[in-house]
Amino acid sequence: MSATPNGAGLQTASWVGNARAFIAPLALAQFICSFAGSNMNVMINDISHDLNTDVKGVQTCITLFLLIMAVLMIPCSKLTDKWGRKRCFLGGLILYGIGAVLSAVAPNLGVLILGNSVFEGVGTAFLIPPVYILTTMAFTSLESRAKAFGVISGLGGIGAAAGPLIGGVITSGISWRAAFVFQALVVATIIVLGRRVIDPLAPDPKLPFDVMGAVLSGVGMFCVVFGILQADTNTTLFIAFLAGFFLYLRSRERAGKNALLSLELFKNRTSNLGMVTQNLQWLLLMGVSFVVSVFLQTERHYSAIKTGVIFTAATVGVLVSSLGAERFAKRRQQKTLIAGGFVGTAVGIGLLLALVHAASSSPWAFAPGLLLIGLGLGVMLTPSVNIVQGAFPEDKQGEISGLSRSVSNLGSSFGTAIAGTILVSSLASGNGTYVAAMLVLAGFALVGLGVSLRLPSNPLRRTDVEIPAPAALDGVA
């Protein structure tokens, strides 16, 4: 494909068709990747029994999936400029589909980790950056971008929140293996829909790729999260890898060489704060999902479908607040939405703690807390993405998209690793470890609130490169 002049490819809607055709495959991709991160939570007992493993083994599989996404998101986002955004998107979907099939036929935990954690994790790392890069390039106004990201982030949140419900229904009605067949079918649908999306900018195969930077960043993040997962007291030693990564990047830039990640991205205070809120949002979503799911199955002995149905409240909350993203963006400052979201989430966790004893007689005692958490998370997912992506011009979208998604997925890993490790440390203790894990999550919600209050009331959007969006895209149907 020949290179497209700056902005020319976006002056008509021909390169993506209409807005719905453009958004559909991208939003579905975000949905299925988020779904994969949480649907296994309700399959823990079934998988453990079928594959002769335990809660710790399934937790490792879930966390490794989230971790591999985080580790590879930055390098894969860099490769989108070299290989092309559409090519990476479709290639990632193919890898993901292979992983889903492998997981469906897995005879043991090792094969399940290969399929779910490795293939699906790598596939997701390739396909997610193009979702946010292409959306940012196509929608330039705050309102249209809010609505586009509202659909994408909303489906991501719904995928994570509805994962337990959908997974529970499929597991109880058929088998946990059928849940992976469901993922493969959705991926096949996305591939068909995604073929109509045309990359507006031609790839540049001659772009250099910083292999050493990718290795240092990946090893650093992997060791930190894996250390937490194993309750390793020497986890802080592995942070040295991340420190070495940043020193390496600085030396590359000073030498005038191409680096995996530009340190200029970290000089934007608004973007930095926005990424912290993204990290904490996904930490809370995945942490609460894992802790509540495991607690209900191991302590209350609920079935997969009964556990999933309880999470309907969270799904409804995310859906309602996500659908109102555009309306909220017009009426409230993004800072206010993010702060309000953390308040709602903290109150929801408080209700889950307060009503834990009542849940022994009525499982619906969890519903009010999960509903508030869903509403809180749904209302702030889109503003956080908007703040981060909108802080940089087009030529930085590949890098900031990868960094932003990596930070978010790292939050998902932290949520499952930190809260999950506390919970599974002594499941026999009853409510004790559940309360401890939820208190930790409540603390993170309060930290998120503090960070959100430091965001500027009206974050400035970078407009170094103005790209006129076509009417068919700027007014998302």
DSSP 28-94: HHHHHHHHHHHGGGGGHHHHHHHTT--HHHHHHHHHHHHHHHHHHHHHHHHHHHHH-HHHHHHHHHH
93 CB-near residues (< 8 Å, 6+ apart)? 29, 123, 127, 187, 190, 191, 194
The overall average pLDDT reported for the chain is 77
- List the alpha helices (DSSP H) in 139-196: 142-173, 176-194
pLDDT digits (tens, 9 = 90+) for 109-152: 999 999 998 999 999 889 888 888 888 777 766 566 667 777 78
Whether pLDDT at 89 is above 80:
yes
pLDDT of residue 333: 80
272 against 394, higher pLDDT? 272
Q: Would you report the helix, strand and coil content of the chain in percent, each value rounded to 5? A: 80, 0, 20
pLDDT of residue 473: 44
Cα 282 to Cα 272: distance, rounded to the nearest angstrom: 16
Domain identity same for 249 and 268: no
pLDDT digits (tens, 9 = 90+) for 400-430: 776 777 787 778 777 777 776 776 655 545 5
Domain-located, residue 290: yes
Domain identity same for 310 and 403: yes
Domain identity same for 41 and 155: yes
C-beta separation of 370 from 317 below 8 A:
yes
Domain-located, residue 9: no
361 SS3 class: coil
Whether pLDDT at 323 is above 80:
no
pLDDT of residue 468: 34
Whether pLDDT at 454 is above 80:
yes
DSSP state of 457: S
Tokens encoding 230: 């194993």
Half-sphere exposure at residue 132, Cβ-oriented, CA atoms within 13 angstroms: 33
Q: How far is CA 227 from CA 101, 222, 392, 415, 424, in A?
A: 29, 8, 33, 14, 15
Which of 34-48, 232-246, 287-301 has the lowest average pLDDT?
232-246
Whether pLDDT at 9 is above 60:
no
pLDDT of residue 344: 92
List the one residue out of 464, 392, 402 whose CA is nearest residue 210. Answer: 402
The CATH number covering residue 359 comes to 1.20.1250.20
Domain identity same for 164 and 254: no
Cα 119 to Cα 103: distance, rounded to the nearest angstrom: 10
Domain identity same for 264 and 252: no
Domain identity same for 433 and 288: yes
Task: Tell me the average pLDDT across 445-468.
Answer: 68
Of all residues in the chain, what percent carry a pLDDT higher than 70? Answer: 80
Cα 468 to Cα 322: distance, rounded to the nearest angstrom: 26
Q: What type of residue is 335? A: K
pLDDT of residue 475: 41
Which of 77-86, 296-305, 373-382 has the lowest average pLDDT?
296-305
> Into how many domains does the chain fold?
2
Domain identity same for 133 and 246: no
Domain residue limits at 234: 211-259
Domain-located, residue 12: no
Domain-located, residue 13: no
Max avg pLDDT among 184-193, 249-258, 379-388? 184-193
List the one residue out of 341, 370, 356 whose CA is nearest residue 423. Answer: 356
List the one residue out of 14, 18, 274 whose CA is nearest residue 148. Answer: 18
pLDDT of residue 178: 92
Helix (H) or strand (E) holding 111: helix 109-112
C-beta separation of 59 from 395 below 8 A:
no
Cα 49 to Cα 46: distance, rounded to the nearest angstrom: 5
Which of 129-138, 219-228, 329-338 has the lowest average pLDDT?
219-228
Cα 116 to Cα 104: distance, rounded to the nearest angstrom: 9
pLDDT of residue 238: 62
